[in-house]
Chain A
Amino acid sequence: MSRRIELHDLSCYYGNRKVVDRITMTIEPKSVTAIIGPSGCGKSTLLRAINRLHETLPGARVEGRVLLDGDNIYDRSIDVVDVRRIVGMVFQRPNPFPTMSIHDNVAAGLKLAGVRRRDLDDIVEKALIAVHLWNEVKDRLRRPASALSGGQQQRLCIARAIAVQPEVLLMDEPCSALDPISTLAIEDLIAELKNDFTVVIVTHNMQQAARVSDMTAFVTVDGPGHPGRLVEYADTKTLFSVPADKRTEDYITGRVG
């Protein structure tokens, strides 16, 4: 299963500073949506508002609504843990749990949440196969995850995220710390993930956005200190070939940003 995400007038703040300004967009299930835009325009913040990670920073808050299949995740009756169960996340830098083995990293989401499953080993194996890491690590599942290379660690983190079987996967520049080969591996993986998940990916790499996504959102700021606004949100092909907005065109042709 995967879910439709709707943002309604979503604004994000750090203290009094607004960094994301009234963004409204709908993300279809089982699609890949890319968010592009210049550094500091609020892409990460926006993404982190979709699994309520934003609010874990002191002073950070949001306004507006985020609907997950029609339910507002910011509604007071909703348990934040349930939201994050459904909306998984992969971070810019690989962040495996350093004290845990490879196996335990992948199993962590289930094990630590108290889910007792006989087929935990199967789940771990499936997740590692899905991220094309299984063959590299199957002989050392009990070894510490910190001994893996950066690219392997990032794939491990993706495996960890999908092992809890979320329905939406948020990826914040998942390839920025990786070499071109690992990057390609992860892009292929994203294309496969689309079959099961709704994927939202933040990327600085325009080719990557064009390669992996169905829809692309361009976010930018009017100037330093201004909050990020959604400029254009369209079919990826359209956005990259015939951008409707001048600012989008400037950005994707490399004239700014």
Chain B
Amino acid sequence: MTTATPLWVHRRRYRRRRWTARLAALAVGSAFLLAVVPLILVLTYTIARGLPHFSWVFFTHSLAGVPPSQAGGGIAAATIGSLEQVGLASLIGLPLGLAVAVYLAEYGTGRLATVTRFLVDVMTGIPSIVAGLFAYTFIVISLHQGFSGLAAAIALSLLMVPIIVRSAEDILAGIPRTLREAGYALGLRRWRVVVSIVLPAARSGLITGAMLAVARIAGETAPLLLTAFDNSYINANPFRGQQSALPLFIYNQAQQAYQPAIDRAWAAAATLVLAITGIYIIARLLTLRKSGAHRV
């Protein structure tokens, strides 16, 4: 046996290392702050500017008959529009995205799958204004539908599909093979294994992914500019005529030269930010519950 090296031999090296560790912690910490502080500022400032203008009237009235220079009116038309547009977009985008993801994860091995993956990648990069332009050209102009919530929903769903496909494909790929094999070994058909074993096992992940996608498109403005086109009046029919939406409301009010309009823009922004944050928090909680309480 060799004699053990006395501990103090390493003391200097240790001291240096401790300093390196501290510096690294400092660097990581400041990077974190640099990233998080603006985010928190945006959140708190928006809420601080918007919250004082929350009122019963603000949530229950449209802008009908309220000139920009006057206080009053609210986001009723915009909220209805946003709910309908995002709802319709989800109705189109979620099943479509999920179907593509199931195809890619469960069946996609051939050339068609490679092409599909490539197209999904390209779709991810489509600027949102282009999605709006597309819906404008085909739905609003070519099909003579005019401006409508549906046209906006179609533009939004174009943005939603690749997000859904990406997240769902990852989640499906994460479901262990052994589970599928257990299904095959029981003599179940492949689609049955997908529908009754893989999808239920992936459920909470898929729901989280869907909610994140919804939150992601809820604040999109560009696709709505050429499609929903905004409306001061409540139009509850998403299939016919101009509709308002929260992002459009913010956009149009913030452009006004009058303080009441700008206040309304902030209040609508706060509403939107709170709603989206709410969706994110629920999605997070779902994920936590999934990983935390696996045995329940």
Contact = CB atoms under 8 A, between A and B. Distances in A.
Contacts of A160: 182, 186
B187 A164 contact: yes
B179 A97 contact: yes
A108 B185 contact: no
Contact of A91 (B182, B200, B203, B294): B182
Given A53-B184, A93-B178, A147 B203 contact: no
Nearest to B294: A146
A157 interface: yes
A84 interface: yes
B178 A91 contact: yes
Given A53-B181, A95-B181, A58 B187 contact: no
Given A53-B184, A112-B196, A81 B178 contact: no
Contacts of B22: none
A89 interface: yes
B3 interface: no
Interface string A25-56: 00000000000000000000000000101001
Q: Which of A99, A147, A157 has the most CB of B within 10 A?
A: A99
A98 B201 contact: yes
B296 A113 contact: no
Interface string B157-201: 000000000000000000010111111111111001000110011
Q: Which of A81, A82, A108, A112 has the most CB of B within 10 A?
A: A112
A188 to B, nearest CB: 23
Nearest to B175: A98
A228 interface: no
Contacts, number: 77
Q: SS class of chain B's interface: helix, strand, loop or mixed?
A: helix
A95 B109 contact: no
A8 interface: no
Interface string B281-296: 0000000000000111
Given A56-B181, A95-B182, A146-B294, A113 B176 contact: no
A88 B197 CA distance: 18
Interface in A151-178: 157, 160-161, 164
A88 B183 CA distance: 10
Contacts of A150: none
Contact of B109 (A58, A85, A93, A97): A58
Interface string A69-96: 0000000000001101100110101011
B176 A95 contact: yes
A144 interface: yes
A89 B181 CA distance: 9
A51 B201 contact: no
B192 A84 contact: no
A84 B201 contact: no
Contacts of B187: 81-82, 84-85, 109, 113, 164
A202 to B, nearest CB: 14
Nearest to A59: B109
A112 B109 CA distance: 26
8 contacts: A53-B181, A91-B178, A99-B203, A108-B197, A109-B188, A112-B196, A113-B189, A157-B182
Interface of B: 109, 176, 178-189, 192, 196-197, 200-201, 203, 294-296
Interface of A: 51, 53, 56, 58, 81-82, 84-85, 88-89, 91, 93, 95-100, 108-109, 112-113, 144, 146-147, 157, 160-161, 164
